[in-house]
């Protein structure tokens, strides 16, 4: 066996659900506990002393920290070494593991602690009660790694496309039209898919929601499950109001043997892949596919020298149902609930701990693989709006070859150069609906409709719907992708598309 093979030897997870602010902890304290659990999980007293790289996932709830990796290392009393902090993006955990595997296999790193966590539930609880939290502060800055570009463009912001809940529905509606499914039938399909995720969360001790919501509960808007942005009610969207942390320790076979870590704790990293889609949503090739996701999957499976039929477990990133469906389609897996597509329960039910969910998925995958000798599993992760992708393949038995992968950057220019419609800000005349969503207010009432429009000359633009309950209702009840309309300028400088015959 290659002594440099990268392996995960310890994992830890923490979920803290108390509403007692006096007992609540700041995010770096939750991460510290997860790291200590990971060290203990390896069943090796001397492991922490060998860690020479601390890599922390970006903390949304720890924005005031000066240097989270340094703070964590100090709390754990780790020796001096590399300290890295990711840019924003849910791809961060898997991306860190891939890069750690590269460094460990090449001898640039001995053992890496990869950790992250959030205390957004505590933050919101304190805000509601008017309590100022005594969290640690500081000046300075961490060494940030990863692609730190802003996720959206000003042209998108101008039309209210500013948050994941406003943007992911565009992809969902486009996929439904691509698959030629009626709106009501597609809603029922999404509810069944989400119920299959929720059923897995019931069995996970660290899941935020373990009530196993049914398809009927998930798919029926109402009290507690308001429509957020068509076609997604609240129970189909990621829940970030959680206090959760996770950590994994990555090293190599030689270190694990020298430290006496039992082989029963080893899980091998078989393959890793990374790619971006064309960066801005307005410039995508289309809204029913993800070339970046496809490339990341291809890289990971090719390095592992397997196809999807070899996978015993998968955890497909599930911030919204569209991400699960695209991943399952690439792997040739069903989305009807007949096969689990998560090991945790997914972001809407296990909990979407900011950028760190995928680290919980990896930690859980390690536990599942330890239970099945020879089994393989895949974890996918993504950031921004189906923008940044990272994939890992793991196994409880060693791969048949040394860890070696081409730089993911080699193929990125091919994706960036894919033909796509030119975006235009100002235009009038005929156009057709490419995809759309209807945003809803906090009471669940429709408030604004946003349309991606293909102009008569093939270019693309954004437009608003007429602000009419009848129009909003029509877009939600009917399949209006491909419907023709007329573009006109509004007084606020934005465009409006009026359907012909409306």
User: Where a domain ends, among 388, 416, 444?
Assistant: 416
Residue 246: other Cβ atoms inside 10 A = 32
Q: Provide the CA 39 distance to its chain's centre, in angstroms.
A: 26
**Structural domains in the chain (count):** 3
Q: How confident is the model at residue 17 (pLDDT cuts 50, 70, 90)?
A: very high
* Domain hosting residue 223, numbered range: 170-236
DSSP 8-state symbol, 423: B
For 275, half-sphere exposure in the C-beta direction (CA atoms, 13 angstrom radius) is 22
pLDDT tens by residue, 149-186: 999 999 999 999 999 999 999 999 999 999 999 999 99
pLDDT tens by residue, 266-294: 999 999 999 999 999 999 999 999 999 99
Structural domain contains residue 157: no
Structural domain contains residue 1: no
For 385, half-sphere exposure in the C-beta direction (CA atoms, 13 angstrom radius) is 27
Contact 23, 54 (CB under 8 A): no
Structural domain contains residue 405: yes
Whether pLDDT at 501 is above 70: no
Closest CA relative to residue 110, chosen from 201, 3, 223, 234: 3
Task: Provide the whole-model pTM.
Answer: 0.97
Omega cis (within 30) before 84: no
On whether both 187 and 297 belong to a single domain, the answer is no
Whether pLDDT at 309 is above 50: yes
On whether both 53 and 138 belong to a single domain, the answer is yes
**What are the CA-CA distances from residue 253 to residues 6, 147, 264 (Å)?**
7, 30, 12
pLDDT value, residue 141: 81
Give me the mean pLDDT over the 440-467 stretch: 96
Structural domain contains residue 179: yes
On whether both 51 and 136 belong to a single domain, the answer is yes
Structural domain contains residue 190: yes
DSSP 8-state symbol, 225: B
Structural domain contains residue 124: yes
pLDDT tens by residue, 311-326: 999 999 999 999 999 9
CA dihedral 276, 279, 283, 286 (to 10 degrees): 30
Whether pLDDT at 502 is above 70: no
Residues 6 or more apart whose CB falls under 8 angstroms from that of 185 comprise none
pLDDT value, residue 80: 86
pLDDT tens by residue, 74-124: 999 998 899 999 999 999 999 999 999 999 999 999 999 999 999 999 999
On whether both 277 and 209 belong to a single domain, the answer is no
On whether both 277 and 382 belong to a single domain, the answer is yes
Distance CA 96, CA 247 (A): 12
Please state, rounded to an integer, the average pLDDT across all residues of the chain.
Answer: 96
What's the alpha-carbon Rg for the chain, to the nearest Å?
Answer: 23
pLDDT tens by residue, 46-68: 999 999 999 999 999 987 888 99
Beta strand 53-56 with 112-119 is: parallel
Contact 60, 279 (CB under 8 A): no
Q: What CATH number is attached to the domain comprising 450?
A: 2.40.50.840
User: Where a domain ends, among 190, 218, 236?
Assistant: 236
Give me the mean pLDDT over the 12-25 stretch: 95
pLDDT tens by residue, 450-459: 999 999 999 9
Residue-wise DSSP of 181-217? --HHHHHHHHHHHHHHHHHHHTT-TT-S--S---HHH
Distance CA 145, CA 64 (A): 18
Structural domain contains residue 484: yes
User: Where a domain ends, among 416, 441, 463?
Assistant: 416
Contact 327, 316 (CB under 8 A): yes
Distance CA 312, CA 333 (A): 12
On whether both 354 and 482 belong to a single domain, the answer is no
Residue with tokens 């991606």: 452
On whether both 394 and 285 belong to a single domain, the answer is yes
* Inter-helix orientation angle 27-41/68-76, to 10°: 50
On whether both 202 and 140 belong to a single domain, the answer is no
Structure tokens, 358: 């995928």
- The sign of the torsion formed by the CA atoms of 85, 77, 94, 348 equals negative
pLDDT tens by residue, 346-394: 999 999 999 999 999 999 999 999 999 999 999 999 999 999 999 999 9
Structural domain contains residue 158: no
On whether both 136 and 262 belong to a single domain, the answer is yes
Distance CA 433, CA 431 (A): 7
Q: What CATH number is attached to the domain comprising 24?
A: 3.40.47.10
Q: Which residues of 147-169 are buried (b: 16+ CB within 10 A; e: fewer)?
A: beeebbeebbeebbbeebbbbbb
On whether both 346 and 436 belong to a single domain, the answer is no
Contact 163, 89 (CB under 8 A): no
Distance CA 139, CA 141 (A): 7
On whether both 81 and 215 belong to a single domain, the answer is no
Distance CA 60, CA 144 (A): 14
Distance CA 43, CA 41 (A): 5
On whether both 228 and 246 belong to a single domain, the answer is no
């Amino acid at each position: 066996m290659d002594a440099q093979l990268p392996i995960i030897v310890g994992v830890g997870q923490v979920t803290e659900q108390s509403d007692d602010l006096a007992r609540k902890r700041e995010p770096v304290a939750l991460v510290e506990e997860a790291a200590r659990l990971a060290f203990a999980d390896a069943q090796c007293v001397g492991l922490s002393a060998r860690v020479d790289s601390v890599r922390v996932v970006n903390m949304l709830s720890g924005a005031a920290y000066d240097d989270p990796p340094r703070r964590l290392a100090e709390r754990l009393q780790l020796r001096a070494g590399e300290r890295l902090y990711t840019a924003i993006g849910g791809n961060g955990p898997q991306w860190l593991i891939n890069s750690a595997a590269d460094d460990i296999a090449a001898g640039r790193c001995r053992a890496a602690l990869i950790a992250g966590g959030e205390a957004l539930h505590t933050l919101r609880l304190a805000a509601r009660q008017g309590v100022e939290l005594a969290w640690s502060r500081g000046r300075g800055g961490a060494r940030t790694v990863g692609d730190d570009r802003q996720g959206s463009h000003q042209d998108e912001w101008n039309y209210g496309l500013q948050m994941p809940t406003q943007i992911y529905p565009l992809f969902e509606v486009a996929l439904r039209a691509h698959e030629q499914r009626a709106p009501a039938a597609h809603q029922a399909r999404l509810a069944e898919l989400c119920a299959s995720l929720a059923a897995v969360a019931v069995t996970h001790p660290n899941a935020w929601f373990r009530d196993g919501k049914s398809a009927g509960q998930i798919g029926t808007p109402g009290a507690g499950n308001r429509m957020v942005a068509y076609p997604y009610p609240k129970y189909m969207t990621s829940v970030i109001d959680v206090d959760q942390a996770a950590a994994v320790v990555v090293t190599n076979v030689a270190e694990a043997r020298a430290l006496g870590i039992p082989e029963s704790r080893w899980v091998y990293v078989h393959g890793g892949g990374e790619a971006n889609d064309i960066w801005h949503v307005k410039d995508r090739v289309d809204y029913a596919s993800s070339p970046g996701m496809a490339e990341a999957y291809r890289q990971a499976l090719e390095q592992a020298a397997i196809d999807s039929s070899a996978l015993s477990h998968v955890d497909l990133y599930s911030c919204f149902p569209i991400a699960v469906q695209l991943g399952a389609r690439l792997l040739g897996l069903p989305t009807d609930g007949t096969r689990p597509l998560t090991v945790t329960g997914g972001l809407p039910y296990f909990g979407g701990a900011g950028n760190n969910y995928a680290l919980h998925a990896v930690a859980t995958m390690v536990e599942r693989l330890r239970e099945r000798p020879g089994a393989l599993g895949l974890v996918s992760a993504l950031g921004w709006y189906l923008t940044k992708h990272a994939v890992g393949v793991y196994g409880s038995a060693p791969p048949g070859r040394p860890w070696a992968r081409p730089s993911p950057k080699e193929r990125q220019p091919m994706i960036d150069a894919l033909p796509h419609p030119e975006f235009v800000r100002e235009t009038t005349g005929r156009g057709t609906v490419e995809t759309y969503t209807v945003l809803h207010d906090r009471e669940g009432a429709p408030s604004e409709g946003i349309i991606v429009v293909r102009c008569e000359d093939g270019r693309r633009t954004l437009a608003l719907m007429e602000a009419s309950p009848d129009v909003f209702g029509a877009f939600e009840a009917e399949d209006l992708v491909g419907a023709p309309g007329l573009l006109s300028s509004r007084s606020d400088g934005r465009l409006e598309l009026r359907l012909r015959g409306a």
